[in-house]
Each structure stands twice: as C-alpha cells, then as structure tokens.
Amino acid sequence: MRNSAGTHAGDEPATVGTPPAPVERHGYVLLSPDDFNAGALLGLRTPPPNILIEGDCLEVLSFIESNSVDLIFADPPYNLQLKTKDLRRPNNTLVDGVDDQWDQFTSFEEYDRFTERWLKECRRILSPTGSIWVIGSYHNIFRVGRLLQDTGYWILNDIVYAKKNPMPHFRGVRFTNAHETLIWAKKSEGARKITFNYRALKELNGGKQMRSDWWDLPICGGAERLRDANGNKLHSTQKPEALLERVLLATSGPGDLVLDPFAGTGTTGVVAQRMGRRWIMIEREAAYRELIEGRIARVADNGACERQ
C-alpha cells in the first residue's frame, strides 16, 4: 500500500527511478500493479515465491511472463443477471444472494468481451505443460466454455461439483440448483505431458478412478465461511478449501506456480501455500485483500507452529 509520499508505509523513501523493495509479510509480498510492472520491466525473472497483487486482472495479467504459470484456477464473476435484491424465503426472511457490483454486466456481449480478454492473457502465461480450471454456474459456464475453445484452449474434462448441502429454491418454480461446473483445459490441442496425478486421486477415492462427478464436497460453511460480527457472509461466493485441495492435488506438484486472477477471499493461495505450491493471486477489492492477508497469516503461523 502506498502513502501520500509515494512510498510503502514503514519503508524508507526509495531512490528516484527505483521501485521500492517488496516487503515480505507472511511468506508473500503485496504489490500494486505499478510495482509489479516495474519489477517485470527490470527483468526480475525470479519473483518472490508468493505474490498478492492489488489490482484488476485485466490490468495485471499482461505483466506476467509468458509460459511461466503451471496451473490457473479461475472463479470469475458469474453474471447472475439478478433483477431484484429483494429475494425472500417463504417465511419472508431475506436471502443473502449475489448482488455485488463486480458480478454485474450490462449485456452478454460485455461479459463475453471481458471473459475473452482474461482468457487470452491466461493462455499466454500458461506453461505448455500446465492447465487451467474455470468454475461457474449455468449462468456463465457455457459462454466460458465456448470462449475457451475459441481462444485456443483444448478442454480435457468438465467436472460436476455436486453440493451435498445446496441452498433450496425457495419459490418452488425451478429445480434446486445443486451443482456448479468446472472446466479443465490445457493450452492447446497439441500440448503434451500435462500434469495429472492419477494415482494420488485414485488413492483419495478409495482405490477407484476419480470420476468427473464430485458428490462428496460441501458448500463453504461452518467455521470455514468468513462472516462479520452480525453473521453476514463477507464474500458471496467463497469456495470450500476441499475443492481447491482436490484441484491442486490433481493437476499440480510441489513447487509449481499457481495463479488465481479472481482471488476473492484467497482460498487458492491458502491451499497452495499449505500444499507447498507457489502462488500469485490478483484481487481488486480492498476488503477482500484484507481477508486474504488474515487467512495467509494464519496459515503461516500454523506452519511455524508445526515446524517448532
């Protein structure tokens, strides 16, 4: 974070023309897009192991080196197209739905342009042996799938994340929306030697091949769900750590670099750090970055306790 003098709080003023040295916090550094760009332009080809970048992914991704990322997990806006914020249960209590500004687009065409831009940049920075996961709902995942293919990716699987405890459909005019879809894709049709830890997944699944329908994962709740003092969700679409653990176990290895362009509450980085992967997360909302910093600090503290 910068103060009015242009330096990071707590740092000595930097020499004119020299970007300030990044400050390590709990095993990661926090950078603005300008700082990250300056480091890239100076040829810093070996970045710190873990980086949280405070900015919009459409501005930041272009600064990341081509072919440098082993795994991308993207949980983009779903473009839910909600027409009302006053959604109520039969007992007249208000449903805590997704009405955040970051999920609002004026049209499908605007959403498609946004999606195509970040998908193209992610494909450029993805390693030839790496892969990308995108999660979504019926509102957006079919548009994302088409754009993945149009951009040059090659789809490997779609995964049904079936929720054990979905939110009911209170009005009773549709099926209960009990799953989300993940698309797993590689950089191109000709890409080879994609990381896939088949045996580890088979062991996790009781000796049987891991299938593309994942029925054993809950939605994010209980102590894991981040809430304020009044019990309100601090992020409307927080993903469970168990889901990211499976994705990272399946398609990355220790020391691999994992990127999340829509970090939200930072679940990808939390799980990556705990599993011995390096990470880069991008998040534009200041409130969510504060949540990320708190979660990463707890992971780092727990790791330090385990090493003692």
SS3 256: coil
SS3 24: strand
What pLDDT was estimated at residue 265?
87
Is 16 inside any structural domain? Answer: no
What pLDDT was estimated at residue 34?
86
Is 5 inside any structural domain? Answer: no
Cα–Cα distance measured from residue 180 to residue 162, given in angstroms and rounded to the nearest whole number:
7
Which amino acid is residue 218, in one-letter code? P
Per-residue pLDDT reduced to its tens digit, 214-237: 988 876 555 666 566 666 655 556
Domain carrying residue 37: 29-307
Is 11 inside any structural domain? Answer: no
What pLDDT was estimated at residue 12?
45
What pLDDT was estimated at residue 294?
86
What pLDDT was estimated at residue 208?
96
Cα–Cα distance measured from residue 171 to residue 235, given in angstroms and rounded to the nearest whole number:
24
Is 224 inside any structural domain? Answer: yes
What pLDDT was estimated at residue 203?
97
Determine the length of the chain.
308
Which amino acid is residue 213, in one-letter code? D
What pLDDT was estimated at residue 230?
67
pTM score, two decimals? 0.81
What pLDDT was estimated at residue 2?
35
Per-residue pLDDT reduced to its tens digit, 93-152: 544 555 556 456 688 899 999 999 999 999 999 999 999 999 998 989 999 999 999 999
Is 263 inside any structural domain? Answer: yes
Is 17 inside any structural domain? Answer: no
C-beta separation of 76 from 262 below 8 A: yes
Is 19 inside any structural domain? Answer: no
Is 161 inside any structural domain? Answer: yes
**Given the DSSP bridges, would you call strands 154-163 and 50-54 parallel, antiparallel or unpaired?**
unpaired
Low-confidence ranges of the chain (pLDDT < 70): 1-22, 41-47, 79-105, 169-172, 219-238, 303-308
Total of domains in the chain: 1
C-beta separation of 147 from 117 below 8 A: no
CATH number at residue 89: 3.40.50.150
Using a CB cutoff of 8 Å and minimum separation of 24, what contacts does 251-256 make? 251/71, 251/131, 251/133, 251/184, 251/194, 251/195, 251/196, 251/197, 252/70, 252/71, 252/195, 252/277, 253/70, 253/195, 253/197, 253/277, 256/70, 256/71, 256/195
What pLDDT was estimated at residue 15?
46
